[in-house]
Amino acid sequence: MKKSILLLSAALLGCAPLVRAQDYHLSAPDGKTTVDIRAKGSLQLSVQHNGSAVVPGLRLAMELGDGTALNGESKVRKTQKQSVKETIQAPVAIKNSSISNEYNELRVQYRDHYAITFRVYNDAVAYRFETDFPDSITVKNETCDLQVPAGSEAFFQWADLAFNSYEHLYDKAPLDSLTASRNTQLPLLLNAPGGQKILFTESDLRDYPGLYFTGQGGQTLHGVFPPAVKTERKNDPSDGGWDRNFYPGSTYDYIARTAGKRSFPWRIIALADNDARLLNNEIVYKLGAPSRLQDVSWIKPGQVAWDWWNHWNVTGVDFRAGVNTDTYKYYIDFAARHRIPYIIMDEGWYKLGNILERTPDVDMKAITDYGRQKGVGVILWCVWRTLDEQMEPAMQLFAQWGVKGVKVDFMNRDDQAVVNFYWRCAEAAARHHMLVDFHGAHKPAGILRTYPNVINFEGVAGLENDKWTDKLATPQMAVTLPYIRMFAGPMDYTPGAMRNAQQRDFAAINDNPMSLGTRCQQLAMYVVFDAPLQMLADNPTAYENEKESLDFITRVPTTWDQTIPLDGKVGEYVAMARRKGNTYFIGAMTNWTARDITLDLSFLPAGNHRMVLFRDGVNADRNGTDYKREERSVTRNDKLTVHLAPGGGWAARIE
């Protein structure tokens, strides 16, 4: 990673042993966002954006197990203020290859072994605690209580603190719906009455539990955390999920036991004047700790042919399809023909509970050798706890086979112990030059910058849900995710269904699944959804029968030089342009409401450009597979009127 850093100013505001001023003011580089900080007596801040109080009050504190309170009662020893303007060159360019990182910062250092750092960006405010105790500490609790403007509404995802897959519907409701009996996960997006968008999340989450919010039915969000786990319920191998679902049994009365000298997770308040501005905000990545990897040349993003969603349901072959060597060689042949760099071998290749023991029909060395000959890498699925218990021998075995990465599943918790697993896994995989795709995972929270081999996260109600329900992976969800879940980082939604249905025709069929919405919505997902490791969820036979769609999909990059939000409204529609080199892509999607939108092509360079587009067919409102492929010449002066069918989409490649 190359960075160019320009420190605009670095001024000590108080070098004397004590600083008398207890209230501080900090502004964004563009001056539109300001923060007032009360650092003595009761730690509080307020945030104003364009003259409006978007966060009237935020109370912060940390309580340690020995009774020590980090709450501003201590003496302020010194303060430091600096302005930073730098460019981050991302080794895995999720949205943009060059990321502008400009902010003003205030660090308030207290006499009693702690400090708080505040940063103000043009589109976000962030703060974090830092401690400097000589020994380890117990964090009993952290206070993060936010007041928001009266009349705000939120997009809640109700969640269980103890066991949470992060795969929930969004419930758009008044803020007072958040009561003491409910918890909502992050990211949390609010619509303020003045039209501002306020999004809360976190970054640099390590050796600490994830943050949630609960409430009292008013205008205050109360931060809560999963407690540290003492024991887990005993798993019975005769029960389903015995190798993967580890529910907490008893817990401690604290949230973390950790090093005394450390920095804690960043708490983030992101701001946007309209919905579309949320689509290109990279504050979570910017606040992640810098990469720990010296050599990142081996990290290769790309697309991957996936087996599990389509249930290995290939046809027209002379072997019995399933979890066996012949089937995976078939997937490798398909991937090689269409320049897809990876295949995934999902559940079934090893004996559950023991990664080191393969199932009888799988010759792993033969499969990986065949993939190497064809230029296709193999990524292996596994359950997190089994991998954790066998980490080093498993990684050594994978390296011996030539495996390129792991898809690690079913963590379903973000208490301190399980958060630490993410970091152990990322580090071990990096040592063996392997990619990591976390499934059954919490939201991304900065680790993608620190370990860029962590190339994707699930933590989303993705296409797999269409195998068993029509309630989750819907067009409504598809045009909500980019503004909220995708704000935190990339998401393994696993698009690519070639059987597409409107609501009245949809049926949840596990072994031969379909998607809700149109074919063109599936194509548009490859442009709109961030996913450096991007799945092709359907089976090779289905794609070979739909060559036009397959050709478009396999030409879409999985990393980008530039992201250009065009238009959108949370839960209604989204339109986005992307650039890779000299090629541009556009994706647009709608919920179940048909609509016409206008795409302004002024982002294009001067001159004539060839566009290949896919639009919903005239009968797509009846048959989700109906589409039209067209070619035309366009310039940057064009404005295109695009019709989206119910659950529809529109996608284009411009060269």
Are 443 and 211 in contact, with CB atoms under 8 Å apart? Answer: no
Instruction: Report the distance separating Cα 203 and Cα 127, nearest Å.
Output: 10
| CA angle, 279 then 283 then 284, to 5° | 100
End-to-end CA distance of the chain: 29
Helix (H, G, I), strand (E, B) or coil at 188: strand
Task: Please count the CA atoms within 13 angstroms of the CA of 393 that sit on its side-chain side.
Answer: 7
How far, in Å, CA of 122 to CA of 117, rounded? 17
Angle between helices 364-374 and 325-337 (to 10 degrees): 10
Burial 365-375 (b: 16+ CB within 10 A, else e): eebbebbeeee
Catalytic residue annotation? 409, 464
**Residue whose structure tokens are 């909500």:** 480
Q: Is 195 exposed, middle or buried (0-12, 13-18, 19+ CB in 10 A)?
A: exposed
Pairwise CA distance, residues 43 & 58, whole Å: 8
Neighbours of 109 (CB within 10 A): 19
**Which element (helix H / strand E) includes 237?**
none
CB neighbours of 149 closer than 8 A, spacing ≥ 6? 52, 53, 54, 56, 192, 193, 194, 219
Q: Which helix (H) or strand (E) holds 52?
A: strand 52-64
Locate 422 and state its tokens.
Answer: 């993410």
Tokens standing for 97?
Answer: 């290859």
CA–CA distances in Å: residue 496 to residues 30, 413, 652: 41, 28, 16
Q: Which two tokens stand for residue 193?
A: 């009455």
Distance CA 501, CA 293 (A): 44
Q: Which residues contact 128 (CB under 8 A, 6 or more apart)?
A: 116, 117, 204, 263, 264, 265, 266, 267
356 Cβ partners below 8 Å, 6+ apart?
A: 350, 390, 393, 394, 397
255 token code pair: 């949230």
For residues 649 and 360, what is the distance between their CA atoms, to the nearest angstrom? 43
CA angle, residues 400, 401, 405, in degrees to nearest 5: 100
- Within 325-379, residue ranges assigned H as helices are 325-337, 364-374
**For residue 238, what are the contacts with CB-CB under 8 A and spacing of at least 6?**
none
Coil, helix or strand at residue 419: helix
CA atoms within a 13 Å half-sphere pointing along the CA-CB vector of 81: 11
Residue 47 to residues 55, 92, 130, 149, Cα–Cα distance (Å): 5, 32, 21, 11
Mutual orientation of helices 416-431 and 391-401 as an angle, nearest 10°? 30
